[in-house]
Amino acid sequence: MANDYKKEEEILGKAYDSKLMKRLLSYTKPYKKYIIFAILMNIVVASLGPIRPYLTKIAVDDYIANSDYKGLMIIGLLLLASLLFQAVMQYFLIYFTEYLGQKIIYDLRSQIYSHVQKLALKFFDRTPIGRIVTRVTNDIESLNALFSSGIVMVFSDIFIILWIFGFMFFLDVNLSLVTLSVLPFLFYGTFLFRRKVRESYRDVRLHLARLNSYMQEHITGMNVVQIFNKEKSELKKFSSINNDYRKANIKSIFYYAVFFPSVELISSVAIGLIIWYGGGNVISSTLTIGVLFAFIQYTEMFFRPIRDLSEKYNIMQTAMASSERIFKLLDNKTFINNSETTINFENVEGEIEFKNVWFEYKENEPVLKDINFKINPGETVAIVGATGAGKTSIINILTRFYDIQKGNIFVDGKDIKELNKRDLRKYISIVLQDVFLFSGTIRSNISMDNSEIPFDNIKKAAELVGADKFIEALPNKYDEMVMERGATLSVGQKQLISFARALAYNPQILILDEATSSVDTETEGLIQKAIEKLLVGRTAIVIAHRLSTIQNADKIIVLHKGEIRETGNHQELLAKKGIYYKLYQLQYKDQEINKSA
Amino acid sequence: MKNLYTLKKYFVRYKKKLFLGILFILLSNIGTVYIPLFLRDAINGLQNQISLEKLLYYCILIIGASAVAGFFRFLIRETIIVVSREIEFDLRKDFWKHIQKLPLRYFQNNSTGNVMAHATNDINAVRTFLGPAVMYSLDTSVRLIIVISIMISLNFSLTIYSLLPLPILSFLVYKVSSIIHFKFTKIQEKFSELTTKAQENFSGIRVVKSYVREENEILKFNEISKDYLKKNMNLVKTQALFYPLLFLITGLSIIIVIWLGGIKVIENQLDLGEITAFIVYLGILIWPMIAFGWVINIIQQGEASMKRLNKIYSEPFEITDSENTDYSIKDLKGDIEFKDVTFKYGNNLPKILDGINLKIPHGSTLAIMGFTGAGKTSLINLIPRLYDCTEGKILIDGKNIKEIPLNILRSNIGLVQQEAFLFSDTIKNNLSYGLDDFEENKIFNAAKLSNLDEEINSFPNGYETIMGERGITLSGGQKQRASLARALVTNPQILILDDSFSAVDTHTEEQILKNLIDYTHNRTTIIISHRISTVKNADKIIVLNNSKIVEEGTHDQLLAKEGIYSDLHFKQLLEKELEEI
């Protein structure tokens, strides 16, 4: 993941938060039975390791001492059996708990993705896409450890420790107490180490983030560095950040260097105590050598579960930080809501009316002011205006991507606020200026992966807009893969595909935001023909950049600074010599010259 | 291994510390291997009426040996692992030094993410090789030799039988960890597919919503998510083997010791003390045997990463001083001449500039106009040698720019780029970027010339305000003006403005241009712009179209020509009129 360096939202030590934890645990509910089963299994499996030193004690005291070959063999076979059984059970337990964890993560990811799909465009305007992506991917990922190994396996570690205690006390209470006297040091040392490492690791990450963002920034701006001749001094700066990173790393080495030998020392102290105290008891014949034997093996068994426990503590802390961000997104309710009772919306004719419509993105900065117009079914209306006149906003509010502040919009005489959004959008197709192609095939891009649209209709749509010629020429025709948002296709081809897409849905109302980008004359001819086909037999609103489209429109609306300033057809408006006349000279006249040329 | 050989010079640099490290490995292992021996003596003693004092003596010896071993173990990490961090530092520094000299072409052909991947992942893989891999392979070898020879001296056949499973352990660790590595890359691929899908969907959310495809998109996402789950479980299938196998094999060794060893005790060939020692020795050997399998993987990955790094190191610098460089040149006046200049971005790519001939005398102002993609930026990029021209030559003060020392050339040129790139630092540091020594007056002056001074003073911390992600966000126009000020500060003989007012409103632009009249009086100035108002006062205006100069002259001359320039002029007048309605 080359992009990881970007993820600088430092996951810092978040204190335990029971509310968050409760909410997190609620995701395990559907799998409650399995989890309880896994925990119960753990109790059994955890005993299999600690039972072996006990068995060796029997071997030493009862069989080796009495030269009982058969007894020794039985113990040998028992040891083998417990070992094999443990290995197999452990494997399945790990697999099972991982599977549960992955399932929970899958559910959570699905939930958050569905949630985001339903959020209004307003949310997407305000939130950088990268951040939303991080929530759905990396943040969820960091919960993985909690669900897969954290929740269930914590019990495994605890049970192992308890079993060891049990066997030890069963063998000899006093020796157990003496041996376990080192345990507090071990616990304390391990958790102290975890804390220190965590702190120093945070330091390391902080410096690494600095280093990475320095590199990221300076690779992007390398030409500035070179133009200003700053290579030498930048190298100095880089070295100092690099040096901080090195220092932080070397500091963290120290903790490891102290910790591992300390653990070994503690275990040696335990062994030493067993030899001294236990050995004394052996001399006085109150203890057998086999018990010493078993105890020496137990001292080596403690460390792993304790270390794992301290690790789980870290996992939980990390999960806290991520889950807080995830839940914040899940609690975001920027929706465009359907009204409580929606009107039936069928057999749409396609009549559109705007009545005293006011609209603003930011408070008190209206982009549309008192807009009034009516379009009869089957009519084509062209909207023209300079950049920033408010043309795109008209599309946005007609499809309820945004809600208007004042006035009403009617389709077939029904206020769109009373309609179900889905119904409304079903009858309206939009062709946007920037054609957005999804990864997939040409076919899936035309149908938007809708299996209800038969392939014949897809083909027919492509034929009608004249996209079939280039599609048929592709090696895999309609099944040709679309690479990276259509990088291998020309601008014109992409537009034809988006026309076919709109046509395949056969909408009653078509909204077309014509692209301004220039294409070669041949493609231009194709596009013009395609647009003519598109407009036939439906109500259409076109944000027009083509002279031909405007000339063919039933009505032209001239939008200027958020207001309708002129309406009429091409000839009428030209004769007025007003705004339209100027726009015509600015944008459309050249097309006439080119056409005649 | 041949790629890792490049690292030799770094090892040599720290040879003293490394030798010490090896010595510590030896000493620590000697301490470690004594513990089981003391234990053996104690247990054997118990069967022969040992005294309590003697037991205490063994107890102290065991703890003492462990303390000695631990002390040297501490020193091992403080030498060998520390050295790996030192080398990592050197490695990264050398990497950066190299990267800085690579031509713009390299950065245009390789995405930032790509270069970053080398700087982070690859260097990290090499570091892991340098530190843990070197430490563990040395430690393992030393320990194996000492422990096995002691075990053999205790009992030969028991040694052979009990050690039999351990090579299998190494092999399995090697196998399993390389399968894990492979499956992990598969997971990462799926993960990035997941990321791409989310990214794509969120970017195209408008289309999704207009075609009411939300449900379908959720299904598709869930499908990838399910696939990701499968890939993860596929990894778990292997990864879950790791610990059980580990316990199985090590447990097997211990069972062999107890069973076979027990028989030998019964037959009086061995004492219980030896068996205890064997069990503890096995415990000591397990970790090194695991490390062995793991180290092989690390070496393989380090080799692959070093290979990629070496490829970057062999990347040619292209634009540097050469044997023809005339180091007697200390100053430039600023007479620029293009002679039959042709430029392509690559051999098989089309000509971006074709037969450009142009004279820009010292102290004059040249304006360049033309449509997007006409070659304007490419033309001016040739002057500070961000690229070298393909054919023809460019002269400054009559000298071919390839013969002028690169640092002299660039320090005499102030280039303000189209996309103003500022660093996330204070405004002051950004403006003084081109200065060696900080001079407050120069900065204030430049900020005033760029009409930025007042705005900066209105920021919370004035000139100390931090910009960028962690600070305030400047508007496009403010960025452009800051980038202009940054260039003005350096007092260049040649000032080049590449469409640097595109985000600045016309009114402010006019003011800045007025401010600059005096400043540019004695300098050569080149301005690229789309606005007639910006260029009309230039001494000469050229219009580039399809890689060639198609119109050339003063404002009045070009208006009279009725070509591209006069058409633009007419349209911009119209726009202005529309704006005022």
Reading chain A (597 residues) residue by residue, the pLDDT tens digits are: 333 333 333 444 445 678 888 898 899 899 999 999 999 999 999 999 899 999 989 988 888 888 888 888 999 999 999 999 999 999 999 899 989 999 999 999 999 999 998 888 888 887 878 888 888 888 888 888 788 777 788 888 899 999 999 999 999 999 999 999 998 998 898 888 888 888 888 888 889 888 888 888 888 888 888 888 888 888 999 999 999 999 999 998 899 899 989 988 998 999 999 999 998 888 888 888 889 889 988 988 887 788 888 778 777 877 887 888 899 999 988 888 777 777 787 778 889 999 999 999 888 888 999 999 999 998 999 998 877 788 888 888 998 888 899 999 999 888 888 888 888 888 888 888 778 888 889 998 898 888 888 999 999 999 988 888 889 888 888 998 887 667 678 878 888 898 899 888 888 899 988 776 666 677 778 888 888 888 888 899 988 887 788 888 899 999 888 889 988 888 888 888 888 888 888 777 776 655 544
Best mutation target among B17, B25, B29, B46 (most A Cβ atoms within 10 Å) is B46
Burial class (CB in 10 A: 0-12, 13-18, 19+), A81: exposed
**Nearest-Cα residue of chain A relative to residue B108:** A220
Q: A18-171 maps to which CATH number? A: 1.20.1560.10
Q: Mind telling me how many Å the CA of B494 is from chain A's nearest CA?
A: 13
Q: Mind telling me how many Å the CA of B21 is from chain A's nearest CA?
A: 13
Q: Mind telling me how many Å the CA of A239 is from chain B's nearest CA?
A: 6
Backbone angles phi, psi at B349, to 5 degrees: -95, 155
Decide if A597 touches B, using CB distance below 8 A: no
Chain A residues with CB-CB distance to B220 below 8 A:
449
Q: Mind telling me how many Å the CA of A475 is from chain B's nearest CA?
A: 25
pLDDT of residue B525: 94
Domain ranges across chain B? 7-154, 329-412+495-504+524-581, 418-491
Q: Which two tokens stand for residue B131?
A: 């530190």
CB contact under 8 A, A113 and B52: no
CB contact under 8 A, A2 and B280: no
Task: Give domain B418-491's CATH superfamily.
Answer: P-loop containing nucleotide triphosphate hydrolases (3.40.50.300)
Decide if A91 touches B, using CB distance below 8 A: yes
DSSP per-residue letters across B156-196:
HHHHHHHHTHHHHHHHHHHHHHHHHHHHHHHHHHHHHHHHH
CB neighbour burial string for B5-17, b if at least 16 within 10 angstroms, e if fewer: eebeebeeebeee
Mark residue B420 as left, alpha or beta (left: phi above 0; alpha: psi -120 to 50; beta: remaining): beta
Best mutation target among B77, B271, B480 (most A Cβ atoms within 10 Å) is B77
| Residues A356-410 pLDDT 10s | 999 998 888 889 999 999 999 989 999 988 777 888 888 889 988 888 999 999 9
Backbone angles phi, psi at B546, to 5 degrees: 45, 50
Decide if A420 touches B, using CB distance below 8 A: no
CB contact under 8 A, A582 and B577: yes
Best mutation target among A124, A244, A268, A329 (most B Cβ atoms within 10 Å) is A268
Please report, to the nearest 10 degrees, the dihedral formed by the alpha carbons of residues B140, B142, B147, B153 taken in order.
150
**Do A100 and A287 contact (CB within 8 A), yes or no?**
no
Decide if A434 touches B, using CB distance below 8 A: no
The mean pLDDT values, 10 residues at a time, for chain B of 581 residues are 82 91 93 91 85 90 94 92 90 90 85 82 86 83 90 90 86 86 86 85 83 86 92 89 86 89 88 87 82 82 88 85 88 92 87 91 92 85 91 92 91 87 87 84 90 87 80 81 91 91 83 89 91 88 90 90 87 78 74
Query: Starting at the edge strand that comes first in sequence, how are the strands of the sheet with B548-553 ordered?
Result: B413-416, B494-498, B524-528, B365-370, B540-545, B548-553
Decide if A58 touches B, using CB distance below 8 A: no
Q: Mind telling me how many Å the CA of B391 is from chain A's nearest CA?
A: 22
Domain B7-154 has CATH 1.10.20.60: no
**Nearest-Cα residue of chain A relative to residue B39:** A275
How many contacts does A have with B, using Cβ atoms within 8 A? Answer: 361
Per residue, what are the HEC states of B52-83? HHHHHHHHHHHHHHHHHHHHHHHHHHHHHHHH
Q: Mind telling me how many Å the CA of A268 is from chain B's nearest CA?
A: 5
* Secondary element (H or E) of residue B368: strand B365-370
Best mutation target among A107, A206, A275 (most B Cβ atoms within 10 Å) is A275
pLDDT of residue B493: 92
Please report, to the nearest 10 degrees, the dihedral formed by the alpha carbons of residues A548, A549, A551, A552 taken in order.
110
Decide if A425 touches B, using CB distance below 8 A: yes
The position carrying tokens 């006990």 is A54
Best mutation target among B32, B47, B66, B564 (most A Cβ atoms within 10 Å) is B66
Q: How many residues can be counted in chain A?
A: 597
Q: Using CB atoms, which residue from A69, A83, A586 is nearest to B574?
A: A586
Chain A residues with CB-CB distance to B96 below 8 A:
215, 235, 238, 242
**Nearest-Cα residue of chain B relative to residue A446:** B211
Q: Rounded to whole angstroms, how far apart are CA atoms B535 and B572?
A: 13
Decide if A131 touches B, using CB distance below 8 A: no
CB contact under 8 A, B59 and A276: yes
CB contact under 8 A, B204 and A436: yes
Q: Mind telling me how many Å the CA of B119 is from chain A's nearest CA?
A: 8
pLDDT of residue A597: 42
Q: Rounded to whole angstroms, how far apart are CA atoms A317 and A313?
A: 6
Domain ranges across chain A? 18-171, 420-596
CB contact under 8 A, A227 and B384: yes
pLDDT of residue A13: 45
Those of residues 547-586 in A touching chain B at CB distance below 8 A are 560, 579, 582-583, 585-586
CB contact under 8 A, A275 and B117: no
**Nearest-Cα residue of chain B relative to residue A423:** B212
Q: Is the ipTM beyond the 0.90 threshold?
A: no
Give rounded-to-5 percent helix, strand, coil for chain B. Answer: 65, 10, 25
Chain A residues with CB-CB distance to B93 below 8 A:
235, 238-239, 242
Query: Starting at the edge strand that comes first in sequence, how are the strands of the sheet with A366-375 ordered?
Result: A366-375, A352-360, A406-411, A414-415
pLDDT of residue A274: 92
| B489 C-beta neighbours (distance < 10 Å), count | 24
Q: Which two tokens stand for residue A163?
A: 């079993």
**Helix locations, B422-498, DSSP H:** 427-431, 440-449, 453-458, 476-489
Q: Rounded to whole angstroms, how far apart are CA atoms A367 and A405?
A: 11
Mark residue A388 as left, alpha or beta (left: phi above 0; alpha: psi -120 to 50; beta: remaining): left
Q: Mind telling me how many Å the CA of A472 is from chain B's nearest CA?
A: 25
pLDDT of residue A7: 38
**Do A557 and A381 contact (CB within 8 A), yes or no?**
yes
CB contact under 8 A, B70 and A99: no
Fold of B329-412+495-504+524-581: Rossmann fold (3.40.50)
Q: A420-596 maps to which CATH number? A: 3.40.50.300
Closest CA to B175 of B242, B122, B128: B242
Q: Rounded to whole angstroms, how far apart are CA atoms A512 and B116?
A: 41
Q: Mind telling me how many Å the CA of B411 is from chain A's nearest CA?
A: 6
Q: Report the sign of the C-alpha dihedral through residues B205, B211, B212, B216, in that order.
A: negative
Chain A residues with CB-CB distance to B55 below 8 A:
275-276, 279-280, 283
How many Cα atoms within 13 Å fall on the side-chain side of residue A517?
12
CB contact under 8 A, B74 and A91: no
pLDDT of residue B338: 93
CB contact under 8 A, A98 and B240: yes
Q: Using CB atoms, which residue from B114, B199, B280 is nearest to A133?
A: B199
pLDDT of residue A2: 33
Chain A residues with CB-CB distance to B424 below 8 A:
213, 217
Q: Using CB atoms, which residue from A242, A297, A586 is nearest to B279?
A: A297
Same fold for the pair B329-412+495-504+524-581 and B418-491: yes
Q: How far is CA A509 from CA A282, A390, A538, in A?
A: 96, 20, 6
Angle at B555 between CA B549 and CA B556, to 5 degrees: 120
